[in-house]
Structure 1
Amino acid sequence: MLSKKNFAWVALMITAPTYALTPTELTAHLQQPSTVQGQFVQQRYLKNITKPMQTSGEFALKKQVGLYWHVQKPLDLQLRVRPQGIAQWDKKTWRNSSQSGQAAQVKLFMAVLGGDTQELAKQFNLSVSGSLKNWTLTLQPKTAIMKQVFENISIQGDQVVRQVQLREKQGDRTVMTFQNPKINQTLNPSAESALK
């Protein structure tokens, strides 16, 4: 039998509103740091190959400037992703890539890593679960173009994005894991030079 004190507590728990994290709150949370840097591991699972293709390296994200992406294994490749497009370091200078359809890819990638749910909502239906300390953002394509490419995208994190999983329509999958994040610290010289 419940005592009056226990009854009051149970009644409060039943009637208390359940807090649900919103995309707007998640965006504000993820856009607080001016810089985030660390290491990444990217695994690409192709439906006809049993072992994933793996690359790893370091990254640096600078708010409202761009992303420095340095693949260190299995090859050495430095990329700079900014709103204007993607550029590759050729050991002397940054050379802009001229891939078609790149603008949409750049916007999507920057929005995913920067937690820009407003930009993501233009092409996906968003579903957020968890809390600011442990959240998951699921993206379901809503535009015809994104429906042709993706089954869904799942992003997980805490103070920063920790994992991105892209499930493609044809059965392939890419998993990016971000490790050892450093927030609001001086960027390493290569990243600083790329993102100035």
Structure 2
Amino acid sequence: MIRTLCLLLLVICANASAVTLEQLQQRFASQPVIRANFVQVRTIAGMAQPLVSRGQLLIAQQQGLWWQQATPFPLMLILDDKRMVQSMSGQPPQVITADSNPQMFQFNHLLRALFQADEKVLRENFELDFHDLGNNRWQLGLTPKAAPLNKIFNRIDLQGEAFLNRITLDDKQGDKTEITLSATRTEPKQLTDEERARFAPAQ
């Protein structure tokens, strides 16, 4: 579950072709709503074939993050400051709150500081390795140096242009997860009524 939180929130932190953390923060602030399609390929040690999933995500600064997996099976995840809701087809939603799992939300708050491009937090928790690849392309390598991230990941690599295109997570278990984003869009700048309803509390 923590791996899922990390990769989802890193989508937000990297939504910019930023050369400096200040530029990254400015770009994030100018994009209140981000929508994209995703393909996730997870290669697990000992398994012959990778696990592939596809779907859509929505990130809203005020409401949080909505992740909708369509294949190989429907799964919906909502994450905000107070709760995480996971829903699978035919099952009641599972709700985790800060009160019921404070450790997870301590980790969540660290990542929220990360996607807000808090320079102090970023440098405390990661060794940074930024490369300008030319033609507006960039790559940012993050090597965790503090718990809990350094207990989970060896390295996280982010690649993109105007938007984040790819996240690669190399974890301590020998597994690798690659998230490819496409059709990233920021219009309309406000949530539609249908999008706003996605963040309504679970009944």
Gaps of 5+ in 2: 1-17
Given residue 169 of structure 2, which amino acid in structure 1 is its aligned partner? L
Secondary structure of 2:48's counterpart equals coil
Gaps of 5+ in 1: 1-19
Q: Give how far 1:182 is off.
A: 1.3
| Distance across 1 between alignment mates of 2:109 and 2:180 | 20
Aligned residues of 1:21 and 1:132 also touching (Cα < 8 A): no
1:125-164 map, 5 Å: 125-130=127-132, 133-164=136-167
| Distance across 1 between alignment mates of 2:110 and 2:70 | 23
Greater CA deviation, 120-129 or 52-61? 120-129
Secondary structure of 1:121's counterpart equals helix
1:37-186 map, 5 Å: 37-89=35-87, 95-97=94-96, 101-107=103-109, 114=115, 116=117, 118=119, 119-130=121-132, 133-185=136-188
Aligned residues of 2:107 and 2:148 also touching (Cα < 8 A): no
Given residue 116 of structure 1, which amino acid in structure 2 is its aligned partner? A
TM-score, normalising length: structure 1: 0.74
Aligned residues of 1:151 and 1:169 also touching (Cα < 8 A): yes
CA RMSD of aligned residues (A): 3.0
Q: Give how far 1:172 is off.
A: 0.6
Secondary structure of 2:148's counterpart equals helix
1:193 is aligned to 2:197: yes
Aligned partner of 1:31 among 29, 34, 46: 29
TM-score, normalising length: structure 2: 0.72
| Distance across 1 between alignment mates of 2:34 and 2:25 | 15
| Distance across 2 between alignment mates of 1:158 and 1:140 | 21
Q: Give how far 1:120 is off.
A: 3.5
Aligned residues of 1:41 and 1:54 also touching (Cα < 8 A): yes
Given residue 195 of structure 1, which amino acid in structure 2 is its aligned partner? F
Greater CA deviation, 67-76 or 81-90? 81-90
Q: Give how far 1:166 is off.
A: 0.7
Cα distance 1:93–1:76, how it changes in 2: closer, same or farther (>3 A)?
Answer: same
Secondary structure of 1:55's counterpart equals strand
Percent pairwise identity: 23
Q: Deviations over 1:138-172 (max 9, x none)?
A: 11111143222111001112222211111012211
Cα distance 1:174–1:79, how it changes in 2: closer, same or farther (>3 A)?
Answer: same
Aligned residues of 2:167 and 2:178 also touching (Cα < 8 A): yes
Whose radius of gyration is greater, 1 or 2?
1
